[in-house]
Structure 1
Amino acid sequence: MQYAKLGSTGLDVSRICLGCMTYGEPDRGVHEWTLGAEAARPLIRQALEAGVTFFDTANVYSDGTSEEIVGKALRDFARRDEIVLATKVHGRMRPGPNGGGLSRKAIMSEIDHSLTRLGTDYVDLYQIHRYDHDTPVEETMEALHDLVKAGKVRYIGASSMYAWEFSKAQYTAERHGWTRFVSMQNHYNLIYREEEREMLPLCADQGVGVLPWSPLARGRLTRDWGAVTERSTNDAFGSRLYLESDRSIVEAVGRIAAEREVPRARIALAWLLHQATVAAPIVGAAKPHHLDDAVAAVELKLSGEELAALEQSYTPHAISGH
């Protein structure tokens, strides 16, 4: 495993982040394909043994049970000071007023609920899961700053939004002397590269580390075009993200993987790891070989010709994932 600084901070993170949306009780929340504790724990342990120190979850994943499973496993298998634990806030956790969003009330309530579920007294990276258009950005940024000063949060990060929204939040924090975001978790992979237009240059300029979600395009980059899995069959959100024109890129991944005699996932992840702003792709792992491929991708170096072949067929997409 290799490690890198998260943006311009002094925080070291493994070049692979284990995305923990995969872990949670399948009868809770909206994802029926998740793995419960018994199936998830061996994978979390495997990740730790491979040198992964960076784990990302969210309060909303499987109605909080992802945080419970991940927190318990990390307490059992790792030393708290040696891991970087990230979670998120924004999604609706209960019906009625103040059940979600980024108001001061919601943020202050949800961090305590997350800490209880995770079984820790702080999180290393607390991320806003989306932009909240119904709450003044000043209210959100001050509340997050107060969590840092209270010791409940070490760093703060953001997720998918427009570049102007991210810039506004950063400017607001700087203007008031509040804590700024150090990371951007956004939708970025070989078949969705719209972030290269504005968000990634902004992150490079501001020293913000990028943590791509869906780095394998919901698995589309790992299999033949048109092949289906249990998750893809039940993934209504993912079915809206990609286009028929993406087929040529998927085929290019397959050709290079065949020439290299490696699984396709390694090629797609290696491409992301070649991008200067990317600190760590967030990789979900439902099977042991998913982790094997992710870890191996860190060492895989693509040639200039291979990078060009992977990129040349890209076609613009409508903005998605915000």
Structure 2
Amino acid sequence: MTSAYDLAPSVQRSLDATKVDYVKVGSSGLRVSWPILGGMILGSSPIMPWNLNEEDSIKLLKAAYDRGLNTWDTANCYRNGLSEEIIGDQLGKTKDYVNQGGLSRGAVFHSVEESLTRLGTTYIDLLQIHRFDPNTPIEETMKALHDLVQGGKVRYLGASSMWATQLAQMQFVAEQNGWTKFISVQNYYNLCYREEEREMNRFCKATGLGILPWSPLYGGKLAKPLGRNESLRSQMPNPLHSLTSEDEQIIGKVEEIGDKKGWKMSQVALAWHKAKGTVPIAGMNSVGRVDEMAVMRDKLLTEEEIQFLEELYQPRAVVGHL
């Protein structure tokens, strides 16, 4: 599995034999697979019928691991902890974690302890807080997170969707007090939603923070031609993925480039993320989808293709962290 530290030569040779890239998160020493596997789909749910049952979840995780996709994103609220339990039962450790609770000291410590138990591990490589908590002083949050690092339960810290000003405030408080700062931000960013380019992505690049976008395929809509074999999930109403006429044209452009290059549409959309220097967290609901994601190493877009994909984008209302 990937580690924050140098790997043994035998492990390095094994990783090199895969078709998966391994990259550092921002300017930190943490290495992750590219892309990261999103764990929200793991575990049956009566309100999310597209989710995988435990047997299929384990098959998916094994396929991902065997192909070198060994950085997985999970959260304590996914299926009320079932996603973490499935990952814990399969490997004993996960290498990427998102804390989805409040950010008071008690909430932070409680959620981490529960997650460590479910995952069957003694530490978390990357703990990413979920959103900004306006009800808790920033000092309380950052001190609690720092104490988790100092106590060996967490190695690196990350943030999630919030205003760039809020992230800057949290980083400033940590720096002023000599506490552990964030190394990454998990934000909503894809070809059809690029508002993060205005402030957040600029701030991250200027300060060495890694960008780990969630929903890089726009809820799956960038992975298939419009109206063709749409998944149950993509048909569900979702304000984050409400298609505009520009969206439909962008999806058409993704399909056009895919046809020209002999790629899957999902590979085109993820190659755009590679060009932007991000590490996307992609949901995968089948071994076939894992295979698509595991061969991205040599899939690069030209500057002309990037411009072609981006030229129709229109500014839109901010969503994802309000």
Letter in 2 for 1:53: N
Structure 1 residue runs without a partner (length 5+): 92-100
Supply the distance in 2 between the matched residues of 1:261 and 1:150 (Cα, whole angstroms): 49
Match of 2:209 in 1: 208
Q: Is it true that 1:89 corresponds to 2:86 in the alignment?
A: no
**Aligned match for 1:57, one of 71, 74, 80:** 74
After superposing the two structures, state which structure 1 stretch, 293-302 or 204-213, moved more: 293-302
Aligned to 1:184: 185
Q: Deviations along 1:174-231, whole A, 9 cap, x unmatched?
A: 0111110001000111111111111111001111011111010011111223453211
Tell me the equivalent position of 1:98: none
Offset of residue 25 of structure 1: 2.8
- 1:234 is aligned to 236
Deviation at residue 294 of structure 1 after TM alignment: 1.3
CA contact (8 A) 1:20 1:56 kept: yes
TM-score, length basis structure 2? 0.90
- In structure 2, relative to structure 1, the CA distance for the partners of 1:187 and 1:103 (3 Å cut) is same
Unaligned runs of 5+ in 2: 1-19
Q: What is the CA distance between 1:109 and its match in structure 2?
A: 0.8
How big is each residue's C-alpha offset from its partner over 1:213-272, in whole Å with a ceiling of 9 and x where there is no partner?
1010011111223453211233535445x4332111101001111111221111000010
TM-fit CA distance, 1:145: 0.5
| Counterpart contact for 1:159–1:184, Cα < 8 Å | yes
Please report the RMSD computed on the Cα atoms of aligned residues, expressed in angstroms: 1.5
Q: Aligned partner of 2:223: which letter?
A: T
1:161 match: 162
Measured after TM superposition, the shift of residue 275 of structure 1 is 0.9
How do 1:71-86 and structure 2 match up within 5 A? 71-75=88-92, 85-86=95-96
Aligned-partner Cα distance in 2 for 1:88–1:225: 32
* Superposition pairs of residues 97-108 of structure 1, within 5 angstroms: 101-108=102-109
Which aligned pairs between 1:287-306 and structure 2 lie closer than 5 A? 287-306=286-305
Q: Is the 8 A contact 1:188 1:213 kept in 2?
A: yes
- 1:2-52 C-alpha deviation (Å, 9 max, x unpaired): 11111111111112111110102324xx53321121001111111111112
Q: Distance in 2 between matches of 1:274 and 1:102?
A: 33
* Matching residue within 22, 29, 37 for 1:3: 22
Q: Please state whether the residue corresponding to 1:105 is helix, strand or coil.
A: helix
On the 8 A contact 2:218/2:241 being kept in 1, the answer is no
1:68 aligns with 2:91: no
Aligned to 1:31: 48
Query: In 2 relative to 1, CA 235–104 (structure 1 residues): closer, same or farther, beyond 3 Å?
Result: farther
Q: Is the 8 A contact 1:194 1:317 kept in 2?
A: yes
Kept in 2: contact 1:267–1:297 (CA 8 A): no
- Structure 2: distance between partners of 1:237 and 1:46: 32
2:173 corresponds in structure 1 to 172
What SS does the aligned partner of 1:224 have?
coil
Match of 2:31 in 1: 12
Distance apart, 1:292 and its partner CA = 1.4
> 3-state DSSP class of the match of 2:55?
helix
CA distance in 2, matches of 1:145, 1:218: 34
State the SS of the aligned residue for 2:189. Answer: coil
| Alignment correspondent of 1:255 | 256
Inter-partner Cα distance in structure 2 for 1:165 and 1:150: 26
Assess if the C-alpha contact under 8 Å between 1:253 and 1:264 holds in 2. yes
- Distance, in Å, in 2 between the alignment partners of 1:271 and 1:129 is 25
Q: Is the 8 A contact 1:186 1:211 kept in 2?
A: yes
Percent identical across equivalent pairs? Answer: 44
For residues 224 and 16 of structure 1, what CA distance do their matches in structure 2 show? Answer: 22
**Alpha carbons 1:122, 1:154 under 8 Å: kept:** yes
Could you list the structure 1 runs, at least 4 aligned residues long, displaced by more than 6 angstroms after superposition.
none
1:143 aligns with 2:147: no
Letter in 2 for 1:206: T
User: Counterpart of 1:318?
Assistant: 317
Question: 2: distance between equivalents of 1:125 and 1:243?
Answer: 35
2: CA distance between counterparts of 1:41 and 1:25?
A: 12
